[in-house]
Amino acid sequence: MSGIQAAWPSNTECVAKYNFQGTTGQDLPFFKGDVLTIIGVTKDPNWYKAKNQVGREGTIPANYVQKREGVKSGGKLSLMPWFHGKISREQAERLLYPPETGLYLVRESTNYPGDYTLCVSCDGKVEHYRIIYHNGKLSIDEEEFFENLMQLVEHYTKDADGLCTRLIKPKLMEGTVAAQDEFSRSGWALNRKELKLIQSIGKGEFGDVMVGDYRGTKVAVKCIKNDATAQAFIAEASVMTQLRHTNLVQLLGVIVEERGSLYIVTEYMAKGSLVDYLRSRGRTVLGGECLLKFSFDVCEAMEYLEANNFVHRDLAARNVLVSEDNIAKVSDFGLTKEASSTQDTAKLPVKWTSPEALREKKFSTKSDVWSYGILLWEIYSFGRVPYPRIPLKEVVPRVEKGYTMDCPDGCSTVVYDLMKQCWTLDAAVRPSFRMLREKLHHIKSKELYL
């Protein structure tokens, strides 16, 4: 174990693999699954000094914990690694060769578009079972019905229930990694039994956002039921494991249930979204110093993403949350990708997206800077919708001709100048987030916002 010592510097996060009671007063007891932070080494290379999430410190055995790592294989993570998409009957049979009873995969049906086929190797040949999609449910025999493919597969791994054999071994699609295995391996899998869901605080098209309790800590939980949507959120969660900053909403862990539900557990942000916060309090409550602080918080988070080569793509006041102690944190990494990739523009929020991103699907830190300018305008207009009184279809043509929104009432000219720099049509000329932070710092220190 002594080789571990050099590899784990202070502030390394780790997860307990076992329960530890402690044998002396100096030890820090913990339970399996607890997250601990290494704060130093001891004379004995088999022990660390660490602290737990409530700040208690003590010594812990090095071989009882595993380092928490960012999940790297985002694009290859799959909730359904046995799902092979559009392949033919013959291709499925080739993949299930040499025959091995209980080896299986699921494919899209070639004869019945919209349905699926379960292909199972049994006694030297492959059986193909049509999975019928009926009234929003899936079924093979029209006796048992399932919400999604994951539930169906789980059922038949426990019991053959009319099939030639129960499902024993998935034939993984080449290049995929089972999401549950990867989150467990890197220390991000949480225990469903220890999560209590308390009440719904929002509904999205993907599922519910709930307030929950995980081991006595108040948390926010995205509950995703549908397998296609859950697959998209797996990518979001894997991005979140790689990012850690005071002004980003922190992922606490992920639960992948066998029955196909996915829970993404994050820190709880008591005061909700920044846009609602601004609208409900208004200028009588929020002074210039508070608005500048929110602008600064978001800028710091975005500078961190910029330095780590991540593009947010959906920066707006609705995707910034406010904590109990009034810290603004950027959330919703649903669209976050490694820098400079392209994406489908059908769902893009037109009023927040830069002209080049809408026109050429080009996303970069500089397109995030444009969105940040719009977010500044939202902050200083106390949550108004951008481009007031302009019909949506006219926004892009007018912006491309050089139109910019007016300065919000009461906003200082120095802050308005920053907005306009963010809205430069030539992306290369826009400031970086680092430059924006330096300018905000200057505005704050000289009290130019008053």
Pick out the residues of the known binding site.
222
**Strand locations in 3-86 (E):** 13-16, 35-41, 47-51, 57-61, 65-67, 77-78
Q: In the structure encoding, which two tokens stand for residue 6, read together?
A: 């050099």
Residue 356 CB partners (closer than 8 Å, separation 6+): 362, 367, 427
Helices (H), ranges, 219-354:
227-240, 274-285, 288-307
Q: Which helix (H) or strand (E) holds 218?
A: strand 217-224
Cα 263 from Cα 270, distance rounded (Å): 19
Beta-bridged to residue 197, according to DSSP, are 212
Q: Give yes or no: 314 in active site.
A: yes
Position 297: which residue type?
D
Tokens 């997250």: give the residue: 35
DSSP letter (8 states) at residue 76: G
Residue ranges of the binding site for ATP = 222
| Location of structure tokens 């830069």 | 354
Q: Are strands 169-170 and 103-108 parallel, antiparallel or unpaired?
A: parallel
Burial of 199 (0-12, 13-18, 19+ CB in 10 A): exposed
Query: In which residue are the tokens 């106390």 written?
Result: 382
**Pairing status of strand 137-139 against strand 337-338:** unpaired
Instruction: From residue 201, give the alpha-carbon distance in Å to each of 24, 275, 277.
Output: 44, 16, 15
Q: Residue 79 burial (CB < 10 Å; 0-12/13-18/19+)?
A: buried
Contact 313, 305 (CB under 8 A): no
Which of left, alpha, beta for 146 (phi over 0: left; psi -120 to 50: alpha)? beta
Question: What is d(CA 93, CA 95) in angstroms, rounded to the nearest whole number?
Answer: 5
In angstroms, rounded to a whole number, what is the distance separating the alpha carbons of residues 298 and 227? 32
DSSP H or E run through 48:
strand 47-51
Q: Which of 297, 314, 332, 368 is catalytic?
A: 314
Which residues are the active-site residues? 314
